[in-house]
Amino acid sequence: MRSNSKVAVVILAAGQGTRMKSALPKVLHRIGGRSLIEHVLATAYELDPAHVVAVVRHERERVAAAITEFAPQTLLADQDEIPGTGRAVEQALAAIPADFDGSVVVLSGDVPLIDSVTLGQLLTDHSDNARDMTILSAIFADPTGLGRILRGADGAVTGIVEEKDATDEQRRVTEINGGIYVFKRSAVTEALAQIDTNNAQGEKYLTDAAAVILAGGGIVGATLTTDPWVIAGVNDRAQLADAGRELNARVCRRLQREGVAIVDPATTYIDVTATLAPDSTVLPGSFVLGNSTVAAGAIVGPATTIANTAVGEGATVLRSEVNGAVIAAGATVGPFAYLRPGSELGENSKVGAFVELKNTQLGAGSKVPHLSYVGDAQVGSGSNLGAGTIVANYDGVKKHRTVIGDEVRVGSKSVLVAPVEIGAGAYTAAGAVVRKDVPAGALALSVAPQRNTPNWVQQNRPGTTSADAASAANGEKN
C-alpha cells in the first residue's frame, strides 16, 4: 500500500480489562502468535500512516514496553485521570504534530481481527463523501447490549445511542456501532472540546462526538461491514478463545488458497507469523508457531509442534516437538523426537524415534535413529550414532562440546563424555564409554572381557523358574 501522509491512527489500549481476570494486561494476551495489541498495530501499519499513537494507562510500563518492542516508531500517549474513550483520543491528538490535518482512524487494542482492507474501505468512504466522522457499523440479528446507529428517513446517520439510553423503538434497530471510526482531525478536536463527563458513568465518551458534529452542521456517516469479526472485541477468556479460533481458521483458509495442503484446519494451528510454501503439507493435530518456515514438499505432522523452525524442501517432521531448529532438505525427524534450539540437520539426515538433540549440528546424510541424547555436538556427514548413544555434555558445572567427524560409526549404548573428538571414519564398540579423543579410523573400546560364572542362577536363585529352566537346559535332575 502506498504511503498515506493524510492518515493517522489512534489505538486505545488504556483499559484495565478486569473481565479477563488476569495479572496480564488484556491487550497483551495472545492469539495466533501475537498479542492483541500487536495484531492491531500490524494492521495499523499496513495503512502506511503518517503517525500511529497508542494510548496507555493500566500497567503502563508493561504495555508500553510491548508496543515499543513490536513497533518502536509508535508514539505513546498517557491517559490521565479523566476516564473515557473521548478523553483517550483527546490525549492521543495532543501527541500528533499540530500541522497534521488529515484523517484520524480510531481503533481499539482489544479488537484483533480488524484488517487493512476493511479500514481502506472505511477511509475511502469517509473521503469520497467529505465527512467529518465515519463509523464502521454492522448488522446483528441480536444487537443486545450494543450501541445502535440511528438514521433518518433519508438514510443519513443522525446519531449513536447506547442501549441503556435507547427507547424501545431504538432498541429494535439492528445496525450497531462497531467502535471503529475515522474523523477529520479538526472536527474531532472541536467536538471533544465540547464534551464533558456529565453522565452516569462520569466518562468522556467518544460516541458523543457524533451528536456534537451533527449539531454543528458537520457530516456523519456509517460504513457497513458484512464481516462482524472485524469489529469483535475481546473482553474475557471465552472471547479470546473465540477470536483465536476464528483467526486460525482464516490463516488456514488463506494458506490453503495459496497452495498449502492443510488436511484438517480444525485441528491445525498456524501463527500469523509463520510462512508456508505452496505444496507443503500440514497434517492433523499440528502446530506451526512463531517465525517457522515450511518449504515446498515438506510434511509437518501429524501431532507435531514446530516453533521458530525452518523445514527444508521435502523434509518430514513426524509426531515430534521442534523448537528453534533448522531442518535441511530431505531430512527426516521422528516419530517422537525432540529438537531443541540450535539444532541443525543437514540434507537427507535423520533423527529417529525417541531422540533428543540440543544445540547439535548434524551433517548431511548422518543419522541418529533411536533412543539417543546428543547435546552440544558437531557431527560430520555420513555418520551414524547407534541406538542408545549419549553425548554427555554437562560435567555438573559447565557444558562442553563434542566433535564427531565424517563417516563415523558410534556403537549402540556408547557414552561420549565431552569434551571429546571422534576422528573421521572411526568406530566405537557397543557400550563404549569414550573419555579420550579417538583418532581417525580407530576403534574405541572400553569394556572388560566377558566372564561367565557357571551355575550362578541355581546357586543364588534356587527354586525360581529361572533356576528350573537352567537346570532343565543343562540336563540336571531336580
Among the listed residues 39, 51, 370, 400, the single catalytic one is 370
Whole-angstrom distance, CA of residue 327 vs CA of residue 334: 12
Cell numbers representing residue 441 in the block: 579410523
Distance set, CA 446 to CA 414, 415, 438, 449 (Å): 10, 10, 12, 10
Known active-site residue 370: yes
β pairing state of 30-31 and 34-35:
antiparallel
User: How large is the C-alpha radius of gyration of the chain?
Assistant: 32
Cell numbers representing residue 294 in the block: 515450511
Q: Is the peptide bond before 335 cis (omega within 30 degrees of 0)?
A: yes
Active-site residue set: 370
